[in-house]
Structure 1
Amino acid sequence: MAKKKYITQDKIIDWYMNSVLITGKPTSVFSFAKENNFEESDFYSHYSNFESLEKSIFKIFVEETIQLLHSTEAYQEYSSKDKLLSFYFTFFEFLAANRSYVLFSFKEIKSNFSKVTVLKEMRSEFINFVHSINIETLDFKNDKINKIQDNTIAEGYWLQLLMVLKFWIEDTSSNFEKTDVFIEKSIKASFDIQQIAPIKSVIDLAKFLWKEKGTSI
């Protein structure tokens, strides 16, 4: 039988996810290519090994989420909070459509924590997204401090995403309704904590007291 031609990244991902769920992880790229009737070299034109393929799968979940959001005209007018909420709801719809594979992957991570590296590219994409939605922060009039603040906030939301992901994995409610509630409450709480106006008021007061050296506290 002639080998399949025009092997795309999407096809390789689809075949790999099916192989993992139906027959288990392939033992080698050779056996995987033979099983799906394509040239082994076609695999290496897209990926260096199975680990790089696995990393790309979770990265693609984020990329497709962002692409879908940007294709919605109303999204451009959303607040930072609503953009983040939209990301979460859309992202978990993608995960739900691939839940069996996601559960398999996280079972592996749970049994061997070194496997968490499969989320490395997903993390980078998500953090870039958080930076892009311009969450309101304090301006410390210092580029280095502002950058540290931005990175800290982005890392905080990454940890939040992992927390929601763990909740979703364990969620047994119909249509993952409990996860939806958890998303709304966790995003609201995080934005409430970051409210800039009250913090600015405290800083203005501190500045005033600092200047008025004669003021007793």
Structure 2
Amino acid sequence: MASSNKKQTTDRKAIISGFMTYVLEHDGYPKSVYKFCKEIKISEEDFYKFFGSLESVQKSIWNTFFETTINAIQKNKEYTDFSSREKMLTLFYTLFEMMTLNRSYVLFVLKQNDVPFKNMSQLKGLRLHIKNFAADLIEEDNDEKMFKLTKNPVSVFSEGAWLQFLFLLNFWIGDESAGFEKTDIAIEKSVNTIFDLFDNTPLNNVLDFGKFLWKEKVMWN
């Protein structure tokens, strides 16, 4: 049974890898499952063991980015002792490192037809993952607070984390700094600002973050 699971994981990854390679080499999506399977030399039967459509492969790629990120950060023995703020920073840093390794693919699918973020439907699974991750963090923090009035709304925080990711994703797309250093700065400032807002000590960091965004906007224009 264990060997069967291992084979399934390998086959799934091979299809995802083949799909990403196909998109980049053909500068477009496969027109059909038949043509895609012929290209990567697998049968349609094998394809449908793992995916119901080409669209489901697209969505799985983003889910795989997240799952690989979680697996990587959980290997850090110190991670469990991190504060919620440190865990969120670690998630975003690692997730964007993962996407940087696949930047050509990500840029293609998000900027296809010169319409940024046109195909947002493929990010639905990733949105749920990030919102659940953020919800777990705020729930842990709320458990440590004695009074209801001091507890933070989970739904607001989780939705804010997703919007924060979209902002950072858009920032990363336009980042031309070496090693995407400016994206790292944006991650640090944005995460710290959000947590400071929930800790009721926002002013200095909100202003600092605002100045940073304004500076970047002026530089881009």
- TM bucket normalised to smaller: 0.7 to 0.9
Normalised TM-score (structure 1): 0.80
Cα deviations across residues 55-113 of structure 1 (Å, max 9, x unaligned)? 11001111111111111100010000000001111001100000000001101386386
Structure 1 pair 196/151, CA: closer, same or farther in 2 (3 Å)?
A: same
Instruction: Give the direction of change, closer, same or farther, for the CA distance of 1:16–1:84 in structure 2 (3 Å limit).
Output: same
2:21 is matched with which residue? 18
Task: Assess, with a 3 A threshold, how the Cα gap between structure 1 residues 124 and 44 changes in structure 2: closer, same or farther.
Answer: same
Correspondence 1:123 to 2:112: no
Aligned partner of 2:106 in structure 1 is 102
Structure 1: unaligned runs, 5 residues or longer: 199-217
What pairs with 1:135-214 in structure 2 (closer than 5 Å)? 136-137=141-142, 141=148, 149-195=153-199
CA distance in 2, matches of 1:108, 1:48: 23
Under a length normalisation based on structure 2, what TM-score does the superposition of the two structures give?
0.78
Residues 85-142 of structure 1: per-residue CA shift (max 9 Å, x gap): 0111100110000000000110138638662110000111111111222363577759
Identity %: 39
* Bigger Cα displacement from structure 2, 111-120 vs 183-192: 111-120
Q: Aligned partners of 1:129 and 1:61: how far apart in 2?
A: 14
CA distance in 1, matches of 2:155, 2:49: 34
Q: How many residues align?
A: 190
Flag the 1:111–1:140 CA change in 2: closer, same or farther, 3 A.
Answer: farther
Higher relative contact order (CA 8 A, sep 6+): 1
* Mapped partners of 1:129, 1:114: distance in 2: 25
- Structure 2 regions of 5+ residues with no counterpart? 1-6, 203-221
Which of 26, 33, 36 aligns to 1:32? It is 36
Higher helix share: 2
The whole-number CA distance in structure 1 between the counterparts of 2:34 and 2:170 is 34
Runs (4+) of structure 1 exceeding 6 A deviation are none
CA RMSD of the aligned region, Å?
2.5
Query: Which one has the largest radius of gyration?
Result: 1
